[in-house]
Amino acid sequence: MAKERSEAKRTNLVLGLLVVLLLIGTGAVALFVEPSSSSDATVPSGNDATTSGVRPAETLRSSFSAGWGIEQYDFQMNVLSCTELNTHITTDLCAVAKTKHGDFMFSATESYWDETDSEAILEMSLFGFQDNNGWKRASGLLDAQMVRDLDGVQVKIDLYRTVVNDDEVLIAHRHPVDDTINGYDVSDQVFIIAASPTGAPTVVAWYNGPEMSFEADGKNITLLYKRYGVATESGQLQQGLNTQVRLFPSARVPFGWDEQITTGPALRDVKDAVPVVLVDSYTFPVHNRLAGKNPNSKMT
């Protein structure tokens, strides 16, 4: 028994010496190996890798969903066309965007209401083009609603088309009809629709803000809207700054866009490097809706 305990003691001693040697070796390596810095971390490639403060674009306010529409329709047509769509239904807003991934179409129609109703509803739909199962058609994919109080402030929805990375996108801008209304009392709303790499129409950005405008340069769409300035030494707010939100297709998320927010002078001119074309406009709610189509609508 004494011999066995002696051999066990020698074994434990050898193991202990090995552990000590390993610890010394590890410390020596640590002395000669320079620790990695944060600059060695992998950064995303593409447009959003060059500027700090980039994050996914806001889309939480969007209600577009495949499950929203109680009834969804297919309309036979050889190509997506607002003119063809209006042979099937009456639209108050409509536009088509052409992309290398596939074309898509946006339409909106104000629901009928009477004097007993308290609010009006604008039914919005996104269509893709399908050429299978034996016929070509516009296929309803996503639906959403915009609701306004019939006794509230009328808004105008302007629908624009521009180009980002050689693909057409649609920009909808909702703003008060009365331009003397304070933007902090009734805010503007802008949402952008683009095709995903698989050709699916996707709401890639949705923002609210006071007195919004926007510009496009072929790679980005930049939203501009009012903000309060910084406090001066006297304690008063210094006016004269805009929030500037640069929006662009994400290099990280193939189905989304990214944002980068800065602030700048409020007097900055909106100068488009690429055309931003007004395609259609509609005043909502229209108080003579039962009399027919709003005369402000100029669908093309």
Domain count, the chain: 1
What's the pTM?
0.77
Domain assignment present for residue 282? The answer is: yes
Q: What is the pLDDT of residue 295?
A: 42
- DSSP letter for each residue of 54-80: EEEPP-TT---BTTT-SS--EEE-SS-
CA distance 295 to 123: 19
Rg (alpha carbons) of the chain, rounded to whole number: 29
Domain assignment present for residue 16? The answer is: no
Residue span of the structural domain in which 166 resides: 45-291
Q: What is the pLDDT of residue 272?
A: 72
Q: What is the pLDDT of residue 8?
A: 46
Domain assignment present for residue 3? The answer is: no
Alpha-helical segments (H) within 119-265: none
Domain assignment present for residue 187? The answer is: yes
Domain assignment present for residue 4? The answer is: no
Domain assignment present for residue 74? The answer is: yes
Query: In the chain, which stretches have pLDDT less than 50?
Result: 1-15, 17-46, 48-49, 288-300
Q: What is the pLDDT of residue 227?
A: 83
Domain assignment present for residue 35? The answer is: no
Q: What is the pLDDT of residue 70?
A: 62
> What is the DSSP-derived secondary structure letter of residue 65?
B
Q: Say if residues 138 and 75 touch (Cβ distance below 8 Å).
A: yes
Predicted confidence (pLDDT) per residue in 169-202, tens digit: 999 999 999 989 988 899 999 999 999 999 999 9
Q: What is the pLDDT of residue 277?
A: 96
Q: What is the pLDDT of residue 136?
A: 95
Q: Report the Cα 225 to chain-centroid distance in Å.
A: 16
Q: What is the pLDDT of residue 69?
A: 57
